[in-house]
Structures are given as C-alpha cells and as structure tokens.
Structure 1
Amino acid sequence: MNFDFTYYTPTKIYFGRNALLNLRTELPKYGPTVLMVYGRNSIKKNGLYDAVMEYMKEAGKTVVELSGVMSNPTADKLREGVELARKHKVDLVLAVGGGSVVDCSKGIAASAKAEGDVFTRFWVNQEEVTNDTLPVAAVLTMAGTGSEMNTGSVITETATKQKIGRLFDERLAPRFSILNPEYTMTLPEYQMKSGIFDTFSHLMEQYFSDTEVTTSDYLNEGLMRGLIANARKAVANPTDYEARSNLMWAATVALNGLMGLGKSQDWNVHGIEHQIGAYTDCAHGMGLAAISPTYYRHIYKNGLPRFVAFARNVWDICDDSLSDEEVALAGIDALENFMRECGMYPTLAELGVTEDMIDDIAKTATIYGGYKKVSSAEVADILREAM
C-alpha cells in the first residue's frame, strides 16, 4: 500500500425489500421537524412518498418539504433548501431520491447554520465547514452515485456554468441509508444505465492509478466483473431483483472509500464530465460514458501495467501472442463493446455538446492528476474525438 490511511464510515445501511420499516427505529432518534428533500413526481407515482409520510406521522414528525431537486442539483435549489431549514429549525434532513437528492441534502445540512453565500464558501473556495451541521439520512431510489455512504456533494451554479464536487467531513455522511432495490425499478431504463456506468467509472478511476497492486485493486476487479455480469442481466430484464440488488450494493461499495484506500486515484474523467454537465445538464453517468474509452486510450501508455491487468483480470484477455500495448488496447475495446452492447455509449453530440462549447469545457475542467497530466488542449482533443 503506497499511502497511510484512516477509514471510518458512520453510515448504517438498511438493505432489502423491507428496509423502509427501519424508519420506525431511526426517526425517533431525531428532533420533531424533518426536512424531506426529493425530486419531482416519481416518488409520488410509485407510492414511496405516501409510505415515508406514514412513518413520519407515526413518529409524530412535522414535515417540511423541498421538492423539485433536479438531476444536477443547482446552487439556487441548495439555497432554497437552506432557507427552509433555517426558517423551520429542522432537526433532520431526509433525502428521498437518487444521488442528486442526497448530494443536495448534504449541502443543506452543511450550510443551514453557516453565514455568507454557501456555494461560494463550500464549493468554489472549498472551505472547511466549521459551523454546526444538521444530521442527514437517505432513502435511495437510484443506484450509481454512492452518495448514500460517503460525504461527497456535487452542486451546479447554472449562471456561471460551474459544476463542483467536494468532500465534507464525516458529520455529513448519512447517519443511515435505506436501500430497497425495488425502488430503482420504477425509474426509466436510461437512468438505470446511467447509474451503472457511473458506478463503473468510480471503480475505474480508483483502479487506474499507481503501479503496486493493492488489496483494494483485487476487490475492485471483483466488483467490476460482478457489475458487468449483473448489468447484462438488468438490461435484458430490468425487473430482475437479484441483478438490481447486486448493482445497488456495488454502487454503494464502489464509492464508500474502500476501493481507493492506499491509492493516489485518478478522477480526471469526473473532472471533465462535471463541466460537460454544467454546459448541457446531461445525465452524469452518460457524460462519463461518452468520454471514458477515448480518455483511457489517450493515457494508457502512461499506466500500461494497470491497463494490462484490467484487460486480463476483468475482461479475460489472455492471448500470449499480443504485446502489452495490444492487450491494454484490447481491454479498452472490450469496455467499449460492453458499453455499446448495454446501450450506454452516447456521443457527446447526442448529449447536447456543440463545437462552440468544447474549448470552454476544456479550459474549465478540473484535472486532478493521474498517470498523465493532460492539458486543456488535450482535453479539447478528447472531447472532439468523443463527439
């Protein structure tokens, strides 16, 4: 292991068909007023809203609602939630929805007792949160982001086209998260596929770094193989509970910290996609999918041993007649073929990127490091190739 680390997660996971019952145990632990954060109408159509409200009523809670959280939650929606939390002196922020709803809820919980413009302070300037925070919890309806078991939060300022992620301290990890795979089956298939690739991207960005093989890498390879197998099952039959449950748990484990322990990590694909999303409001996972094979073909020579391992250990490419470079490229080809097979390899043009956006996206994308320090010009080349 290349780096020392401390690992701690305060999140309790309730998983399975009857997981929602645990609201009876958890809600009484918090004060009388709950801010329930959710998206548009899906939780009302599928009955989840009514079920949660019944448990709220049973626990004697006063419920304040923030609805309409979008797939890329905005700074304005964050500010709206902060004002509600302050006005009603809420005791718990409960996210009922996908990762974007959970991200927004963490931001509200971090910011409700802060001063000044919270987006500028906590996202643009990445200030440490020194004020008191509110507890946050989640009832998850979409698998992919891993936000249900980490401290990350991504918020978009539409006026300035800034989509910025940050990690908070452990106080902003959900105190508990309820994961029922059945809730994910009511979402459109496009969103399911987007979440699958978001999970895959999280795994790859933690895998493609350093040269030493760590325990985390062995775990990661197993998760990627499982993700591939269950993605194929879920695409063939979106109501396959076993496949959807495996995908949901894989998404959680992919970004709860385990896969990156002791590693440097490479989050450049996310850094580039965040700006694609800021300009187009595309589904996050699909934005990642559009650029990943192109990005990895651009850098693979700089981390050749790891790309060879990816090809051999994840995709079973074991032809001894191939050179290491040929094996590495075959692994990236296998990834692309899998994406096409599952219907999750759009072009950037299909996601709404236009030629006049490319240079601005490239200039504002955050480059974190990785095997190769790519320049803005190289990012622009990658984007044009992915059009």
Structure 2
Amino acid sequence: MLGNFSYCNPTKLYFGEDAISNLSSELKNYGENILLVYGGGSIKKNGIYDQVITILKDCSKKVTELSGVMSNPTLDKLYEGVKLARENNIDFILAVGGGSVVDYSKALSASVHCNEDPWEKFYLRMEDPDNKVVPIGTILTMVGTGSEMNGGAVITNTKDKLKIGKVFGENVFPKFSIMNPKVTYTLPKYQMVAGFFDIMSHILEQYFSNTDDNTSDYVMEGLLKSLIHSSLIAVKNPEDYEARSNIMWISTWALNTFVAKGKSTDWMVHMIGQQVGAYTNATHGMTLAAVSIPYYRFIMKDGLNKFKRYAINVWNVNPEGKTDEEVAKEGLDAMEEYMKKLGLVMKISELGVTEDMITDIAKSSFILPGGYRVLTTKEIETILKECM
C-alpha cells in the first residue's frame, strides 16, 4: 500500500431489527433540546416517527421538529435549519431518514454556530469548522450514501446551480447510527435501486485508482460481488432480510473512509453526476448510473490493468484468448447489463438533461485528480454527449 495515513472512525453503529432499543441510552449523553430532522413525512406512515417521539418523551427531551428535507437538500433549507436551531438553543440533532436527511443534518451541525456564511466557508472555500459543532445521531431509513458513518454533506445551491459535497472531519461524524434493514422494505423500487447504484459507485470510485497491490482493492471486490448478488435478490423480493441487511452493511463500509486508505480515489463520476443533479434535481443514484458507463469507457485504456482485473475478479470474465482491452470491455458490458436488470436510468436525457445544458454542466463540474486520467472540460462535454 502506498502513502502514509491515519484511520479513525468515531461513529458507533447499532445494527439489526432491535437497533432502535439503543436510542434511549445514547440520548442520555446529550442535552435536553433536540432537533428532530426528517424528510417528507414517510416516517409518520411507517411508524418510526411515533417510536422516536415516544422515546424522546420518555427521556424527558424537549423536541423541535424540522421536516421537509428534500432529496437534494438546498442551501435555503440549510439557512432555515440554522435559524430554527439557534432560536431553540439546540443541543443535539437527531436525523431520521436517508442520506439526504443525514447529509443535511451534518451540514447543519457545522453551521449552527458558524459566524460566517456556511456556503462560502464550507462549500466554496472548503474550510473546516473552527466553531462549536452540534453533535448528531442518525436513524437510517434507506441505504446508499453511507452518510451514517462519514463526514460527507452534499448541499445544492439552486440559485447558482451548484451541487457540492463537503467532507467534514471526525467532529462532524454522527455520534451513533441506528440501522434496521426492515425499515428499508417499503422504499419505492426507483429509490431502492438508485441507492444500490450509489453504493456501487462509491466503491468503484475508490477502486479505480492507484496501480499498487492494495489490500483495499481485494476488500472492494468482495463488497462488489456481495452487492451484485444481494441487489438482484432484493429487486425480486424487497423483503428478503438477508439481502437487505447485507446491502445496508455494504453501503456503510463502502464510504466510511476504510477502503479509501492507501488510495488516491477518483470521484469524477460524482462530480459530473452531481452537476447533472444540480440542473435537473434528479435522484442522485440515477445521475451516477447515467454517467458511469460512458465515463469508464472513456478512461478504460488509461487504467487498463485495473479494468481487466475488475472484469475477471468481479464479473467472472474468462480472459483466455482475449486481449487485455477485450477483457476490460467485456467487464464493462457485464456491468451495463447488470444495471439494466436493476432498472437503472442509463441516459441523462431521461433525467431531464437537454443538449443546451451540456456545456454548462461540463463547465460547472469540478475536475479532481486521483484517477487514471485528469479530465478537461471539453472531455467532460464529450462524455456527457455519450450519456445522452
């Protein structure tokens, strides 16, 4: 493995059907003023809201509710949350929902006591908070982002058409996350499979980097094979506990910083996909799906050995009598077929992208190093045209 690194993850996980029984003991560690953050109200339909409220009352907590966190949390919503948290002297944020709710809550935790504009400080200048951070805990209701065990927080500035992720440090990581796979059963198929591909994309964007013999690559190949196996089962039977529990666990380990150690990582699929989302408000996992195959075909020759390894070790491609390029291409073809089986969106035009948006999406996409090729804006434009 290359480079020097440190590793610490301060988030405590409670996993399984009875995970929520641990909420009371965790809440005793924090102040009385709780901000309960959730999305569009599905938690009131599936009973989680009532469970949580009962536990909060039993713990003598004073609860302020912040609902309506959207699938792509906006800067305006962040400002709304900051105002509400300050007015109610919030001691602790409890995020109940999927990745968007958790992302939003982490951004909020860093922003409540920030004396500057959080967008300018955290998302444009990419600075870390030098102010008090409000601790958060999460109760996960869908999988995909891995946000329950990392410092990532994506916010969309609708005015400037920018969707940017800030990776905060350990002080913003959730203090605990409660994960019950059964809670994910009622998620609509579209959202479910979008989450599955978000997991796959997180793994691939760390896998397709570096050329050394890295332990993380072996771990990621195992995670990918487990994800492929379990996701195909879950699509046929969303209430298969074994499949859903495996997927929930894979999602966490895909992006809790563990497999990134010793890797340079390539996040260009996310950079391009996020800007597609900024222009269309499309579901995050679907934007990643729609740009992935054209992107990986574009950079394949630059990382040919790894793409060949991916084809053989993940997709069981037989290399006998084939060139390295033929093997690598067959792997991407197998990945594309799998994506279609899941029912993923494969074209950005299906998400609302029009030809006249492409240049602006390309220009506003952040260009990051770390992969096998550092793209130019023109190359991003070429890839986006292939995605149509």
Shorter chain as denominator, the TM-score bin is over 0.9
Whether the aligned pair in 2 keeps the contact of 1:196 and 1:231 (CA below 8 Å) is: yes
Matched, 1:376 2:377: yes
* Matching of residues 173-192 of structure 1 within 5 Å: 173-192=173-192
Show the counterpart of 1:331: 331
Aligned partners of 2:140, 2:211: CA distance in 1, in Å? 35
Aligned partners of 2:70, 2:285: CA distance in 1, in Å? 15
Secondary structure, aligned partner of 1:295: helix
| Equivalent residue letter for 2:380 | V
The TM-score normalised by the length of structure 2 is 0.99
Q: CA RMSD in A?
A: 0.7
* Matching of residues 173-212 of structure 1 within 5 Å: 173-212=173-212
Offset of 1:105 from its aligned partner? 0.3
Show the counterpart of 1:231: 231
Offset of 1:64 from its aligned partner? 0.6
Secondary structure, aligned partner of 2:138: strand
| Equivalent residue letter for 1:178 | I
Aligned partners of 1:144, 1:167: CA distance in 2, in Å? 17
Secondary structure, aligned partner of 1:138: strand
Secondary structure, aligned partner of 1:263: coil
Show the counterpart of 2:50: 50
Aligned partners of 1:200, 1:79: CA distance in 2, in Å? 32
Identical aligned residues as a percent: 53
Whether the aligned pair in 1 keeps the contact of 2:312 and 2:319 (CA below 8 Å) is: no
Whether the aligned pair in 1 keeps the contact of 2:216 and 2:259 (CA below 8 Å) is: yes
Whether the aligned pair in 1 keeps the contact of 2:99 and 2:146 (CA below 8 Å) is: yes
Secondary structure, aligned partner of 1:163: strand
Show the counterpart of 1:138: 138
Offset of 1:346 from its aligned partner? 2.8
Aligned partners of 2:23, 2:128: CA distance in 1, in Å? 31
* Matching of residues 1-387 of structure 1 within 5 Å: 1-369=1-369, 370-387=371-388
Offset of 1:347 from its aligned partner? 1.1
| Equivalent residue letter for 2:290 | A
For residues 32-81 of structure 1, the C-alpha deviation after alignment (integer angstroms, 9 at most, x for no partner) is 01001100111011011111000000000011111000000000111111
Which portions of structure 1, spanning 4 or more consecutive aligned residues, are displaced by more than 2 angstroms?
A: none
Offset of 1:340 from its aligned partner? 0.6
Offset of 1:375 from its aligned partner? 1.1
Aligned partners of 2:27, 2:191: CA distance in 1, in Å? 29
For residues 278-309 of structure 1, the C-alpha deviation after alignment (integer angstroms, 9 at most, x for no partner) is 00011100000001011000001001110011
Whether the aligned pair in 1 keeps the contact of 2:301 and 2:325 (CA below 8 Å) is: yes
Figure out how many residues of one structure are paired with residues of the other and give that number: 387
Aligned partners of 1:204, 1:319: CA distance in 2, in Å? 21
Aligned partners of 2:316, 2:298: CA distance in 1, in Å? 22
- Say which is worse superposed, 265-274 or 113-122, in terms of deviation: 113-122
Offset of 1:213 from its aligned partner? 2.1
Aligned partners of 1:259, 1:292: CA distance in 2, in Å? 20
Offset of 1:116 from its aligned partner? 2.2
Whether the aligned pair in 1 keeps the contact of 2:43 and 2:49 (CA below 8 Å) is: yes
Secondary structure, aligned partner of 1:316: coil
Whether the aligned pair in 2 keeps the contact of 1:37 and 1:67 (CA below 8 Å) is: yes
Question: Unaligned regions of 5+ residues in structure 1, if any?
Answer: none
Offset of 1:319 from its aligned partner? 3.0
Offset of 1:128 from its aligned partner? 1.9
Whether the aligned pair in 1 keeps the contact of 2:137 and 2:176 (CA below 8 Å) is: yes
| Equivalent residue letter for 1:385 | E
Whether the aligned pair in 2 keeps the contact of 1:336 and 1:345 (CA below 8 Å) is: no
Offset of 1:253 from its aligned partner? 0.3
Offset of 1:345 from its aligned partner? 3.5
Whether the aligned pair in 2 keeps the contact of 1:225 and 1:314 (CA below 8 Å) is: yes
Secondary structure, aligned partner of 1:258: coil
